[in-house]
Structure 1
Amino acid sequence: DAAKRLDALVVTARPLGQMVDDVIAPVEVLAGERLDAVKSAGLGDTLARVPGVHSSAFAPGASRPVIRGLDGARVQVLNGGTAALDVSTVSGDHAVSIEPFLADQIEVLKGPASLL
């Protein structure tokens, strides 16, 4: 009998246990006390402590989130599923029209699922 040769199989593991859904569609949810602790004058400043997010600070109150190096029109800001149409996407000296202090919950969706 001739032995059959199989292709190499590479198995990769992560040190932290994560569900497959978390890897495919990572969502960071800020709500309740956690959101209250980080609320700032601008949306970018409020989200600056979320991993992969920082603020494009032009001036106090005029900050926009930068997610994984993407900013401007590449980062959509929605309020209840509707786009917040403001000029902050094209000009850094304008604030996002959504007021973080009035938010009950803020969700940051990153990765391929953000295209859906």
Structure 2
Amino acid sequence: MLAIIIPYYKIDFFEEVLQSLANQTDKRFKVYIGDDASPDSPEEILKKFHGKFDFVYKRFEKNLGSVSLTKQWERCIKLSEDQEWLMILGDDDFLGDTVVELWYENFDLFYKKANLVRFASKMII
């Protein structure tokens, strides 16, 4: 299964991020949200998405992202335990409705041939 890792700090677009996950046509993923001691709790937003997709939320008491973004990402990745495939999704990024579906559809093209898959991105102003 695909693990989607969200290193969370900013609430500004977080509901849109979660809505893009709820809109996925293929729900074969689990989301791991690592809250980097944000001053803005996402818990009320998370309640809106309970049951719409599988997620784990962990609030860290110490902010690491301001010192080392990679250390924040690493501890968020650890939340996913030993899942083989990980996607890092920013707290201000969102996915088109078929991203997970297309990932599984094309899985045989990269499985055992690559250990990194990069998706194209588009900036919305």
Relative to the length of structure 2, the TM-score reads: 0.23
Q: Which has the higher contact order (CA 8 A, sep 6+)?
A: 2
- Report the structure number with the largest CA radius of gyration: 1
